Amino acid sequence: MTILRRISRQIVKNSRKYSSEKSSPEPKYPTRVFSGIQPTGSIHLGNYLGAISQWVQLQNQNKDLILSIVDLHSITLPHEPKKLSRNILELTATLLACGIDPNKAILFQQSKVSAHAELCWCLGCISTMARLAHLPQYKEKSENLKNIPLGLFVYPVLQAADILSYKATHIPVGEDQVQQIQLCQELARIFNGRFGETFPIPRSLITSSEYGRVRSLRDPSKKMSKSDPDEKSRICMTDMPDTIARNIKKAVTDFTSEVTFDPVNRPGVSNLISIHSFVSGKSVNDICQEVQGIDTGKYKFVVADAVISYVKPIQEKIGHYLNDVGYLYGVLEEGNAKAAQIANVTLKEVHEKLGMTVEGRKRDDIVAKCV
């Protein structure tokens, strides 16, 4: 009977302890926003409206914002080295022209901060092949490949390392991208559980607006994409006016001539209205009222003129920055140094948690014990 009572008391005690641990709040980390963008192809209007403009808002709200040009990710598939080098500079110029301020945010080149690759290895050692093979991003990109590069397989682990290197708490993503950071959250929990509290569990910062998913001009069932082989499917920030006008003129709409906003039943026309709304600053309702009596064919010219006027000053700034390559190098070098300073502190902590640090007093203690 006494033994049963002791067991019962121990169960209650353990239950209370477990309940206390479960209800205890997560350690608080300072709010930090991280995002990355690949230097593959020109930035299009969808990138700008759905991501870059959101970054500028966060930056201007004095958020701790870290932005990475993720060139390591861009070599997971075959690429042209010279083109990649050129794209890195063009992307830097474009981000600055779109409003990213290196004095308010950290803008850097991923490959120049070696902590990303090293942390990727550490996280890779607690990842499983089964988990990575089931990720939708991997399935989508590998389904048409005969020989699948290893880099494509471990891409999500590097993505997690990008985020966790800076102990980022929030990741701006579209509603359709939330699952992409789930692996990062899982790896952070696994590492914390095995080796002690180290990383915050990053949360999705949903960029939920009608601009978050700008559609392809040629197939409004898909997002506007840099990888789409049809160049008429997108509007790039560096496109000449005649190219912008041509692509919008070729945009797929429907057989109803009236201009109305109905994303479900009229996705093509609604996509044009959303784009027009952003670049003009007018509401969707105001636009629909203004263009009453204009058919969709003529409305495309209205949208084209509005887009051309909007991107013109941005294009002028891009040209200005590209004429001063030395300044672009300086921005990246300064950003690389700032990013490395943060990431290296995180990596040092990871080394200590993993038992990879044998220096100073700790090393002397270990040697003494060995002797």
Q: Is 82 a catalytic residue?
A: no
Q: DSSP string covering 15-82, please? A: HHHHHHHHHSPPPP----EEEEE--SS--BHHHIIIIIHHHHHHHHTT--EEEEE-TTGGGSS---HH
**Gap between the Cα atoms of 260 and 250, Å rounded:** 18
Q: Is 317 a catalytic residue?
A: no
> CB-based contacts of 51: which residues, under 8 Å, 6+ apart?
35, 37, 172, 207
Strand 170-173: give its sheet, edge to edge: 106-109, 65-69, 33-37, 170-173, 203-206
Contact predicate 85/39, CB 8 Å? no
Contact predicate 139/359, CB 8 Å? no
Q: Is 104 a catalytic residue?
A: no
**Gap between the Cα atoms of 68 and 182, Å rounded:** 20
DSSP letter at 223? B
The candidate with the shortest Cα–Cα distance to 109, out of 89, 79, 81, is 89
**Gap between the Cα atoms of 81 and 151, Å rounded:** 17
Looking at 63, 104, 112, 226, which residue is catalytic?
A: 226
Contact predicate 42/86, CB 8 Å? no
Contact predicate 288/277, CB 8 Å? no
**Gap between the Cα atoms of 210 and 207, Å rounded:** 9
What amino acid positions are annotated as catalytic residues? 141, 223, 226
